[in-house]
Structure 1
Amino acid sequence: MTSLRQITPLDHLLTEAQRALDTVFGNPPAHRPYPAEATPDVELDVDERRHAAGLMRINHVGEVCAQGLYFGQAAVAREPETRAHLLEAAQEETDHLAWCAQRLRELDSRPSLFNPLWYAGSYTIGTLAGLRGDGWNLGFVVETERQVEAHLDEHLGTLPPADLRSREILKVMKIDEARHADHAEHAGARRLPRPIPSVMALASKVMKGVAYRL
């Protein structure tokens, strides 16, 4: 009888490295249909196309960051249930990543040049959050997703009116993000101390300013 091979720290390291490469440089496929598939792709003028691409690049960066956060948190989660919750959410974020990448291609644009930096920073933050314990880990998920919901609302209000395809993508993403936050709350998330959400919001504002252009 052949015994099962024991997973080593090197195996974990290689797994995390592969996840990073797939997120930043790969083209991971979505497991759900493209939300904009049945929506007509209306011609946008130059300024509308540039603005829509900037917003979708921000959303693509947000999904790169979400992958880094969730994988970093899952790597140090203490309970199997918490790890499973994080990895399940990460899979839906992979769908978002693929959808945003496809929409950027449709808009003749590209992802952020700083995606490796965004991922590395987010993975580090996720790991540090996870080391505080699963309650804080889940609390970080709640705050992250609530802030993402808010900026998706903002984007839905500022997209060019004719850009219905981007709008359909963001509507589905917003529903998913709200569900991730709700599930984390029900799983025992702790409320983060007051300075942390403000720092997260400031970091998000800087990221959005850079990603819109680069």
Structure 2
Amino acid sequence: MRSLSALDMFISHVDNALKTLVPTAATSHRANPAKQAAHHEFNEHEQKHAAGLMRINHTGEVCAQALYQGQSLTARLPEIREAMNEAAEEEVDHLVWCEERLHELNSHTSYLNPIFYGLSYSIGALAGAIGDKWSLGFVAATENQVCKHLIEHLEILPENDDRSRAILNVMLEDEQKHATNALDAGGAVFPSWFQAGMTQMSKVMTKSTYRF
């Protein structure tokens, strides 16, 4: 397999950004788990709350796409770069599922997604440039943060929102796998103070995208 030229890489990353940020542009490889769950009617408050939570999760997947793309740009070992690309492809399913659920809830994806994509891409590229060990460690730490959000959202979704809950359960399983794989591949375990800082930063995203 030939290695990508700088132009090939640029085109690939622009294509990924467009698929991530343009509504309905991406397609999933797996069936949406919500299709097997029962549909329930919500009151106005429940519908807005469920949509807000799913919008947070959708933006989280936007950030994941950007993070993996940025890291693949600067990863030093070819196998690490390939692992980043594979993980990004798996996250596309989550992205599409969350977007489809938002449409079912008569809501929209976050207007702030382009900003968070740009920030996450830059962070990913920086992490990759520092070194593959730290880049993989950052993946694991990020996925652990995502898992915390998913567990929390599973608890506070409207009680009868079986369709959103079905999506988040599969997402949680996948994210836990990604975190484990990153550590098994040689990722560094970040100290607790760093992870606490990541938690505070993630609150900016969750509070803003819940409504916007």
Alignment match, 2:141:
143
Equivalent residue for 2:130, pick from 126, 129, 132:
132
Equivalent residue for 1:15, pick from 12, 15, 27:
12
RMSD: 1.5
- Larger C-alpha radius of gyration, 1 or 2? 1
Distance 2:13 2:3 in 1: 17
Pair 90,7 (structure 1): closer, same or farther in 2 beyond 3 Å: closer
Distance 2:43 2:98 in 1: 20
Distance 1:26 1:14 in 2: 19
Q: Give the Å deviation of 1:89.
A: 1.1
Structure 2 residue 92 is matched with structure 1 residue 94? yes
Equivalent residue for 2:166, pick from 165, 168, 186:
168
What is the correspondence of 1:1-214 to structure 2 with a 5 Å cutoff?
Answer: 7-27=4-24, 28-214=26-212
Q: 1:140 is matched by which residue type in structure 2?
A: F
Structure 1: 5+ residue stretches without partners: none
Pair 5,52 (structure 1): closer, same or farther in 2 beyond 3 Å: closer
Query: After TM superposition, what 4+ stretches of structure 1 lie above 4 angstroms from structure 2?
Result: 4-7
TM-score by length of 2: 0.95
Q: Identify which range, 17-26 or 123-132, moves more after superposition.
A: 17-26
Structure 2: 5+ residue stretches without partners: none
Q: 1:100 is matched by which residue type in structure 2?
A: C
Q: Calculate percent identity across the aligned residue pairs.
A: 49
Q: Number of paired residues?
A: 211
TM-score by length of 1: 0.94
